[in-house]
């Protein structure tokens, strides 16, 4: 007995023994049943499968019923079966072979039109196209222009501000010889700052790009008043407030000069000749010495009781001399 005959007998005996034991074999499920069972296992309905596979629900229902006449054609049917099998976790080639067997067709090599499956399609990354760049630049330009217009509107609607930082309040100078002071402050960039003082012509300075300004003003002895205001050159608006500052310069204290005479002593008599005069003086630049003749203190003739004679004639007029401090003045008469 050959090996082939032995195999046939074994197979035949097995079938008979299976039939004698009452065991029956169930037919394999059809393709529509397999598709339906696979969808049930996946736990989705036809509308969810339509949204995931982008295949209409009525076509999916036709595949699960085996009603291939509702499908647009054999080529599209193959594509639907392949994509639906991939979605349900089945082997697409084995599903197509099963479909061909049920139709009684041999396996062919006709191309299959695959329906796009965006199930696991990657999300597009961020890309920069020329149009996006143009839109971004236009947006930035519009925002910047809007901000500029807003600043200009606020500037034209609001008057300039003015502040004096030095001196921050009224001051009194210590040095009696002070003749000038530097005022400092802040205002709108480019604004014109006017400094007015009673009895003087007002002076003007222009604030720098950062709004700072300085001005040197002349001081007089006593209380000096300065009124500071600002004007916007673009709008012509003047600051709402005028800042007033007082700077006081004290007056010089002048002391009266003093004079002492060292010689001649009081009551000293001289016969003839120049009389030396010496002494000291303070707070004076010069000393003036003058003399006057007042005559004898007793009448001439004394005890005889005669008439009082006329005073002798002065040969020369009394001389007047002056001298600067720091040395003695010696006028002669």
Q: Indicate if 172 and 221 belong to the same structural domain.
A: yes
CATH number, domain with residue 192: 2.60.40.10
Q: Is residue 121 part of a domain?
A: no
Q: Is residue 234 part of a domain?
A: yes
- Provide CB contacts within 8 A for 290, sequence distance 6+: 318, 320, 331
Q: Is residue 132 part of a domain?
A: no
Specify the number of domains making up the chain: 3
Q: Indicate if 230 and 193 belong to the same structural domain.
A: yes
Q: What confidence category does residue 143 fall into, taking pLDDT thresholds of 50, 70 and 90?
A: very high
Q: Indicate if 284 and 234 belong to the same structural domain.
A: no
**Distance from C-alpha of 40 to C-alpha of 309, rounded to nearest angstrom:** 170
Q: Is residue 68 part of a domain?
A: yes
pLDDT score recorded for residue 306: 53
Q: Which domain holds residue 193?
A: 162-249
Cis peptide before 264 (omega within 30 of 0): yes
Q: Is residue 152 part of a domain?
A: no
**Residue 207 near residue 239, CB atoms below 8 Å:** no
Q: Indicate if 239 and 171 belong to the same structural domain.
A: yes
Domain boundary among 103, 137, 153: 103
Q: What confidence category does residue 113 fall into, taking pLDDT thresholds of 50, 70 and 90?
A: low
pLDDT score recorded for residue 6: 46
Domain boundary among 86, 103, 120: 103
pLDDT score recorded for residue 3: 42
Torsion of CA 33, 35, 40, 44, to 10 degrees: -150
Q: Is residue 209 part of a domain?
A: yes
Q: Is residue 126 part of a domain?
A: no
Lowest mean pLDDT, pick from 75-79, 119-123, 150-154: 119-123
């Amino acid at each position: 007995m050959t090996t082939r005959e032995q195999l046939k007998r074994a197979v035949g005996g097995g079938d008979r023994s299976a039939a004698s034991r009452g065991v029956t074999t169930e037919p394999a499920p059809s393709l529509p049943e397999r598709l339906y069972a696979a969808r049930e296992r996946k736990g989705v309905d036809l509308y969810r499968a339509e949204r995931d596979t982008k295949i209409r629900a009525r076509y999916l229902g036709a595949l699960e019923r085996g009603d291939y006449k509702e499908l647009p054609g054999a080529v599209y049917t193959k594509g639907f079966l392949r994509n639906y099998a991939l979605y349900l976790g089945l082997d697409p080639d084995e599903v197509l072979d099963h479909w061909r067997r049920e139709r009684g067709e041999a396996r062919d090599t006709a191309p299959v039109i695959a329906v796009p499956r965006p199930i696991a399609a990657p999300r597009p990354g961020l890309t920069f196209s020329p149009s996006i760049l143009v839109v971004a630049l236009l947006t930035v330009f519009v925002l910047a222009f809007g901000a500029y217009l807003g600043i200009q509107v606020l500037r034209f609607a609001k008057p300039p501000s003015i502040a004096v930082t030095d001196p921050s309040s009224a001051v009194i100078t210590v040095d009696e010889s002070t003749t000038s002071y530097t005022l400092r402050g802040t205002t709108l960039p480019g604004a014109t700052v006017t400094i007015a003082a009673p009895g003087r012509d007002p002076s003007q300075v222009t604030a720098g790009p950062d709004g700072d300004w300085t001005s040197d003003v002349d001081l007089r002895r006593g209380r000096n008043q300065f009124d500071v205001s600002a004007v916007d050159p673009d709008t012509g608006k003047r600051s709402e407030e005028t800042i007033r500052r007082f700077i006081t310069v004290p007056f010089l204290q002048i002391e009266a000069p003093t004079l002492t005479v060292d010689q001649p002593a009081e009551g000293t008599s001289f016969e003839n000749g120049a009389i030396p005069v010496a002494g000291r003086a303070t707070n004076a630049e010069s000393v003036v010495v003058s003399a006057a003749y007042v005559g004898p203190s007793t009448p001439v003739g004394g005890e005889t009781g005669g008439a009082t004679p006329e005073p002798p004639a002065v040969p020369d007029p009394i001389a007047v001399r002056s001298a600067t401090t720091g040395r003695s003045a010696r006028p002669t008469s």
